[in-house]
Every structure is written in structure tokens, then in C-alpha cells.
């Protein structure tokens, strides 16, 4: 084992290297941002994509939207960020100097975020919380967030629909929410609400989680939002508050839907099995889902579009 002072020195050097790499990545993205600002209206959000800290190309989509919709409140909230090295809002924090709140259920990840130098360099809060539809408004209120914010990103691999449905303490202009493309573009379904839901405990494959794009589209009508597109990875949908949508194309779920190409299914022992296409649906078709059109539970494999 390394002496304590030697270990601390190594940790400081590693943190310094990560900070320098982050700065170089941000600098390299600036020409892409300028292209977005100079460019004509893209055919779809997917044409604006680039990746700096986001899991896929969402950093570019977000930069396009905040430029197109400015002025916006320069504040964000993001759920489900792990150690925040890969997230939808890190680039907003470091490049645009927005302020924000991130929530994650794992205290270890939150401690890592708080020990990162970004925590003192920016107006930024990280809190540990197991998010449910019953506690979400209290969590945000207790963290000092309420009213209008620029962007809300929801990615909790489970009760995303139910949490967005109940969230009303903040009023975001942009909502990014993960959808499960395995459910397809037509079914309006979500997992039944379970406050203790955990994706890989629900089914070892990790494929049963979240809500369909059509389910989120039904919810956005009640909440006053418009669907403007999805990323090319087929996991994030983008909604804009109706009064701010401007001239952005408003899409139906069928027009916006992108089938995910990533293959993150697992075996019973936790090894990647790389299921793709209809194989993913076959793995979970025996599960009950909540059908928003029929307002009742039904076996996923028995459902047909309304």
C-alpha cells in the first residue's frame, strides 16, 4: 500500500490530468458550436449532434437548442448521473457556466462529484437520493430549486414516466427524458410504478425499464410540451415547453422514433449478451406493463397498437 501522502499526491495529479483533458475536449468542441450557430435549420436534431461528456451525441443537440431558444434560465437539473463524468449537463456546466443540481442514488458517486474541482469552481449541487414520484418535489424544494429552469434531464432507468408526471415544483423549458425503444413507436406503455424498482433486479437482462416514446408523448400533452425529436442513439427524447417551441418542428412519436442500436443486455451471471432487434422484445414480452391508452395492466407481448 502506498504511503498516505504519496497516494494523495497521485490523486491530485490524476485530478489535474482529468481537468486538463476536459479543457482540451471543450476547446475542440468550440468549432462545432460555431457551426451550429452559423448553420441553417437542421433537418432533424440528429444533424446537430456531437459528444463531449454526454453518453451519445446529446451535447450537440443541447447546444443547438439553447442557442435556438435563447434567452433561457441558465440552470439545470439532472437525475441519474453516477460520477458525473458522462452526463447530459456536464458540458453545460463547464462550457456555458450554467448552475445546477444533480441527483444520484449512490452516495459513492455523489462523494466523487463533490471531491471534483468542478464542485468549487461552479455553482453546483450534488445530492444523494433514491428518487420516487412521492419525494421528487420535496427533494428539489429542499435543494433550493423551484420555478423556471432551462433544462431538466431524467434518466433513472425505471420510473421515469411516473416521476415526470408528478414533478411540478420546477418549470423547465427543455426536458430530456430517456425512453425504452424496445417498446416500439406505437405502444403507449410504461413499467408499473414501483418505488423500489431497480432495472437489473426487475430482470437480469436489464431490458425491462422505463416508458415508450408514445407514453411520454401522451404525458407531455398534459404537461404542456411538444416533442421535437430524439437522438440518433435512440434513447433520449426532447420536449420543449409549448410557449417556447418557436418554429422548431413538432413531431409525432412515429416521426421522431429512433430504434436503439446499442446492445447492453446481460445474462443471469451479468455478462453482456448483446441482444439486438426483436431479441430484446422477446426477452421481456412476458412482463406486465401499464397501458396508458387502456389505463390498465397488460402483458407486453399481448398488446397491439390502438
80-94 tens-digit pLDDT: 999 999 999 999 999
For 251, phi and psi rounded to 5 degrees?
Answer: -115, 155
Whether 57 contacts 72, CB under 8 Å: no
Q: Find the helix packing angle between 4-38 and 58-68, rounded to 10°.
A: 50
In SS3 terms, the chain reads as CCCHHHHHHHHHHHHHHHHHHHHHHHHHHHHHHHHHHHCCCCCCHHHHCCCCCCCCCHHHHHHHHHHHCCCCCCEEEEECCCCCCCCCCHHHHHHHCCEEEEEECCHHHHHHHHHCCHHHHCCEEEEECCCCCCCHHHHHHHCCCCEEEEEEEECCCCCHHHHHHHCCCEEEEEEEEECCHHHCCCCCEECCCCCCCCHHHHCCCCCCCCECHHHHHHHHHHHCEEEEEECCCCCEEEEEEHHHCCCCCCCCHHHHCCCCCCCCCECCCCCECCCCCHHHHHHHCCCEEEECCCCEEEEHHHCCCC
Q: Which CATH number fits domain 4-302: 3.40.50.150, 3.30.9.10, 3.60.21.10, 3.30.70.100?
A: 3.40.50.150
pTM (two decimals) = 0.93
Is residue 103 exposed (0-12), middle (13-18) or buried (19+ Cβ within 10 Å)?
buried
Whether 19 contacts 117, CB under 8 Å: yes
Residue 2 has pLDDT above 50, yes or no: no
Q: What is the pLDDT of residues 162-207, one digit of tens each?
A: 999 999 999 999 999 999 999 999 999 999 999 999 999 999 999 9
For the segment 270-295, the average pLDDT, to the nearest whole number, is: 96
The upper half-sphere exposure of residue 67, i.e. CA atoms within 13 Å in the direction of its Cβ, equals: 18
| pLDDT-above-70 percentage for the chain | 96
Taking the CA atoms of residue 165, residue 168, residue 172 and residue 178 in that order, the dihedral angle to the nearest 10 degrees is: -20
For the segment 102-125, the average pLDDT, to the nearest whole number, is: 95
For 59, phi and psi rounded to 5 degrees?
Answer: -55, -40
Whole-number mean pLDDT of the chain?
94
| Cell of residue 28, nine digits | 475542440
CA distance 238 to 220: 11
Q: What is the distance between the terminal CA atoms of the chain, rounded to a whole angstrom?
A: 63
Q: In the sheet where 296-299 sits, what is the strand order?
A: 189-190, 288-291, 296-299
CA distance 113 to 6: 22
Higher pLDDT, 39 or 150: 150
Q: Domain extents for the chain?
A: 4-302
Amino acid at each position: 500500500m502506498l504511503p498516505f501522502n504519496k497516494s494523495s499526491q497521485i490523486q491530485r495529479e490524476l485530478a489535474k490530468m482529468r481537468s486538463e483533458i476536459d479543457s482540451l475536449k471543450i476547446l475542440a468542441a468550440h468549432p462545432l458550436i460555431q457551426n451550429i450557430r452559423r448553420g441553417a435549420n437542421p433537418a432533424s436534431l440528429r444533424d446537430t449532434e456531437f459528444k463531449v461528456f454526454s453518453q451519445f451525441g446529446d451535447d450537440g443537440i443541447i447546444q443547438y437548442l439553447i442557442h435556438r431558444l435563447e434567452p433561457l434560465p441558465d440552470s439545470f437539473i439532472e437525475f441519474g448521473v453516477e460520477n458525473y463524468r458522462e452526463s447530459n449537463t456536464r458540458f453545460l456546466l463547464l462550457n456555458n457556466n450554467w448552475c445546477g443540481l444533480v441527483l444520484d442514488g449512490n452516495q459513492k458517486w455523489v462523494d466523487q462529484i463533490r471531491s471534483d474541482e468542478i464542485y468549487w469552481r461552479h455553482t453546483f449541487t450534488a445530492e444523494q437520493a433514491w428518487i420516487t414520484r412521492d419525494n421528487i418535489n420535496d427533494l428539489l424544494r429542499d435543494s433550493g430549486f423551484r420555478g423556471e429552469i432551462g433544462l431538466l434531464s431524467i434518466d433513472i432507468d425505471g420510473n421515469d414516466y411516473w416521476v415526470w408526471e408528478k414533478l411540478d415544483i420546477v418549470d423547465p423549458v427543455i426536458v430530456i427524458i430517456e425512453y425504452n425503444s424496445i417498446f416500439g413507436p406505437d405502444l403507449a406503455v410504461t413499467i408499473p410504478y414501483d418505488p423500489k424498482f431497480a432495472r437489473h433486479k426487475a430482470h437480469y437482462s436489464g431490458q425491462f425499464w422505463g416508458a415508450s416514446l408514445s407514453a411520454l408523448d401522451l404525458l407531455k400533452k398534459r404537461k404542456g410540451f411538444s416533442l421535437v425529436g430524439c437522438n440518433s442513439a435512440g434513447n433520449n427524447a426532447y420536449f420543449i415547453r409549448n410557449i417556447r417551441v418557436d418554429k422548431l418542428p413538432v413531431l409525432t412519436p412515429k416521426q421522431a422514433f429512433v430504434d436503439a442500436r446499442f446492445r447492453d443486455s446481460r445474462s443471469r451471471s451479468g455478462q453482456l449478451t448483446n441482444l439486438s432487434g426483436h431479441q430484446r422484445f422477446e426477452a421481456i414480452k412476458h412482463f406486465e406493463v401499464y397501458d396508458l391508452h387502456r389505463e390498465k395492466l397488460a402483458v407486453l407481448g399481448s398488446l397491439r397498437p390502438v
